[in-house]
């Protein structure tokens, strides 16, 4: 029971952290875009680059968690085409976050729960980004060339 609570808390904290990171990125982009002295329609490029940067940071947060869990006792492990490096964790995190899931790396043990929650979180955050960029495009995308 203790392990279940710990797993739930760690996963919940990681999800909360990446949601806060995402919120802050989108909020700062919203503040920055009207201040830019570039053509209005190019402001959306800044939004896209900012959103992609947010997603990259979030993938790295999960990757560090995988790395620490894989190298700690009691969390399980990642196996398959996996060498235990931080970059391998980033790759695994990216395929989980985007729900691409090639299947060349497989989680065993409690680390599996983080994989599932990362996929769910990635889906929600990617959707949030799409909605955000749609609204920004409506505001800045005009007939101006």
Tens-digit pLDDT profile for residues 63-106: 999 999 999 999 999 999 999 999 999 999 999 999 999 999 99
Can you tell me the mean pLDDT for 115-132? 97
Q: Yes or no: say if 80 and 105 are a contact pair by the CB < 8 Å rule.
A: yes
Question: What pLDDT does residue 144 have?
Answer: 55
Q: Yes or no: say if 136 and 48 are a contact pair by the CB < 8 Å rule.
A: no
Spatial distance between the Cα atoms of 132 and 21, rounded to a whole number of angstroms: 15
Whether this model's pTM surpasses 0.85: yes
Strands (E), 1-145: 77-80, 105-108
Pick the CATH number of 2-140 from 3.90.1150.10, 3.40.50.720, 1.10.287.70, 2.10.240.10: 1.10.287.70
Question: What pLDDT does residue 142 have?
Answer: 64
Among 26, 13, 48, 25, which Cα is nearest to 121's? 13
Report the chain's mean pLDDT, rounded to a whole number.
94
A 10 A CB-CB count for 18 gives 24
């Amino acid at each position: 029971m203790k392990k279940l609570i710990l797993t739930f808390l760690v996963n919940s904290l990681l999800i909360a952290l990446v949601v806060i990171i995402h919120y802050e990125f989108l909020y700062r982009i919203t503040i920055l875009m009207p201040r830019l002295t570039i053509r209005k329609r190019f402001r959306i490029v800044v939004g896209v680059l900012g959103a992609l940067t947010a997603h990259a940071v979030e993938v790295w947060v999960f990757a560090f968690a995988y790395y620490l869990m894989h190298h700690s006792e009691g969390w399980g492990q990642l196996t398959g085409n996996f060498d235990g490096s931080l970059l391998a964790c980033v790759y695994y995190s990216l395929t989980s976050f985007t729900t691409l899931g090639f299947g060349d790396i497989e989680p065993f043990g409690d680390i599996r729960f983080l994989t599932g929650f990362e996929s769910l979180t990635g889906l929600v955050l990617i959707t949030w980004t799409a909605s955000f960029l749609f609204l920004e495009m409506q505001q800045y995308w005009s007939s101006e060339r």
